[in-house]
Amino acid sequence: MSKDNKVSFIIDSNGNKTHAIIPIDAYQELLNLQTILKSSFDLNEKENYYFSVKGVNASGFPVGKRSNPSFMINKGSMISVGCAKSLRQQVIDIRNLLIEKGTMSYDIKLNCYILNESYMTTSPSFAASLVAGNNRSGLDVWTNKDGYSLKDSGYGPHAGGSGQSDKTDATDDENRDFST
């Protein structure tokens, strides 16, 4: 890099850098990069993940910290009719509440429940258990369009080093107020 290609700064009377002066070629590269990023994807767009089991298909996306994400199940997702005897009681309670409130309704043709609005759960495992009707590891079963699981995509306890497992986080639904 020649002397003409270095970045200079304007410094105020307190010694703080207030502006950067960059070479025009670096400026042009930044403009090109900005154009590429704008045309590549919408930064506000959520990456959907999918889960299919026992003839039902659901989609949704993680919300919040990578190490301990909540999970939004998308409107229109299918929910299994049956529940395993081993299914956690809080999942059964939420299923019943969603039916009672009309948040999900039975589709006789598809023989499953359909979410009439998107629904937020406290973890991917809770969401997967709700969809499947049995206990599931959400970090493993929710996959993106390329086939990568949430765990493969960097979600879960190792993402932020929290040390808590996704299954432990699912129990937080017991403390959540679902009456609103």
Asked if residue 100 is part of any domain, the answer here is yes
Question: Global pTM?
Answer: 0.66
H helical segments located in the chain: 24-40, 89-101, 124-132, 138-141, 157-160, 166-170
Across the chain, mean pLDDT equals 83
Per the CB < 8 A criterion, the answer to whether 123 and 169 are in contact is yes
Q: Would residue 119 count as lying in a domain?
A: yes
Residues 8 and 61 in one domain: no
As for how many domains the chain has, the answer is 2
Same domain, 15 and 94: no
Average of pLDDT values for 46-63? 95
pLDDT for 29: 80
Give 155-171 pLDDT, tens digit per residue: 988 765 444 443 434 33
The packing angle between helices 124-132 and 89-101, to 10°, is 70
On whether both 25 and 103 belong to a single domain, the answer is no
Same domain, 60 and 36: no
57 and 33 part of one domain: no
Segments forming the whole domain that contains residue 74:
49-175
Given pLDDT bands bounded at 50, 70 and 90, which one contains residue 175?
Answer: very low
Same domain, 157 and 68: yes
Decide: helix, strand or coil at residue 41: coil
Residues composing the chain:
180
- Please say if the pLDDT value at position 9 is more than 90: no
Q: Is residue 180 part of a domain?
A: no
Q: Token match 């609103």: residue?
A: 180
Residue 3: what pLDDT? Answer: 52
pLDDT in tens, 84-127: 999 999 999 999 999 999 999 999 999 999 999 999 999 999 99
Contact 166, 73 (CB under 8 A): no
Residue 38: pLDDT band with limits 50, 70, 90: low
Confidence class for position 46, pLDDT limits 50, 70, 90:
confident
- Indicate the pLDDT class of residue 7, thresholds 50, 70 and 90: confident
Residue 79: helix, strand or coil by DSSP?
A: strand
Do 14 and 62 have their domain in common? no
Q: What is the DSSP pairing of strand 112-115 with strand 104-107?
A: antiparallel
Are 59 and 114 within 8 A, CB to CB? no
Identify whether residues 110 and 31 lie together within a single domain.
Answer: no
77 and 23 within one domain: no
pLDDT of residue 98: 96
35 and 110 fall within a common domain: no
